[in-house]
Amino acid sequence: MLRKSVLKLVTFLLPGGYLEGIDRLVELGRFESRSEAVRIAVKEIMKGELRFIKAKKPTREIPIALLSET
């Protein structure tokens, strides 16, 4: 997980159903908080997209470190 010292506050809008789903996952103990759930979701999207980009057109501009984070 990311160190707290590098976390930045971000405000965004979600459909109510998404937020209810996130809250339910937190209630079930899958995530510690809404923030953790969103961070993990964003990380998984980034990993998938970066792998796709890397496979299509290798470039040094891709932050490869993101691909190896767990």
Residue 36 falls inside a structural domain:
yes
Residue 7 falls inside a structural domain:
no
Residue 21 falls inside a structural domain:
yes
- Total domains present in the chain: 1
Domain hosting residue 27, numbered range: 14-68
Question: pLDDT, tens digit, for every residue of 19-69?
Answer: 999 999 999 999 999 999 999 999 999 888 888 777 776 555 656 566 555
- Phi, psi at residue 19, to the nearest 5°? -65, -40
Q: What is the pLDDT of residue 66?
A: 61
**How many angstroms separate the Cα of 53 from the Cα of each of 7, 15, 41, 43, 57?**
25, 28, 18, 15, 6
Residue 38 falls inside a structural domain:
yes
Residue 2 falls inside a structural domain:
no
Q: What is the pLDDT of residue 65?
A: 60
Residues composing the chain: 70
Q: What is the pLDDT of residue 69?
A: 53
